[in-house]
Chain A
């Protein structure tokens, strides 16, 4: 078993699936010879050739649209959008075709596509390179949306995403790409696409988060444990569909809910989780639900990015206030 970073784990999963399924084709800008700007696809074009690991012209609408055409023909495209901030030209294809082809054709044409994209900020990048736009994707019926928080989870979820018969949007937190190494068994075993993952057990408050924020939440939970506040931390991992059952079970035990995300608050995924718990778990709650999120501003250029992304201190304060409410 090798210790790998999250980006290396993604590379392993792509390599596994390219090696085991001849229908898998990788697409994207600079993914071939350059191995992707984050090196997620490094070495794969050398191994599988320029048709199975294709550099595309610079056009995201075209990338998403060609993925639709290829998938309709039985291929399994795994397309990279270089940064999530550049997904907008592709939204037309994703929303109007990718998400609804199965439904429109009553199951005649299905689209086993994965759209991979770096997600979130905190890496000192230029503007438009630090966006957290999961809401944009989760709002469309017919798409699965996934966001791993560890190398092992990235590996298993990537395999699941490629094998899933429907389009999966795969959000890769840039802050985590090289943050930490973890033992990952390259065994081709996929993880389920509709369950969240408990990261830490606690009795006082349920904290739901995903992606890069999981690490800040765990740090806050560690601090709070010294104050005898026990956090039940859940990594949502699959952002659409949401594993509401596990969240409700946890809230039934703790009686409190805090949701932490990097994306803006307005219409963020936290609202969906809060609403569902309010609808189905209200009588379990001892305190108002709280969201700790990015502000409803444009993601600032990098000098202010850590003023935007919820800090460990802001998270800890929010959880503490919820528990002591």
Chain B
């Protein structure tokens, strides 16, 4: 598949909630510990721009987009 994949590192996350605020269709915060929860690892096209912005504003670098390998399968 060629959709970019998201990853979230709950060790780095500081629960600031920027992701859940910026891209609520893609990220949530765990109701107990407040840390990031991925709702989609491969966000649908409609939510990709918001997800990218969330990656940009996350204060702790806990979330990342992995582009598919250009020539990969």
A binds B: no
List A residues at the B interface (Cβ < 8 Å).
none
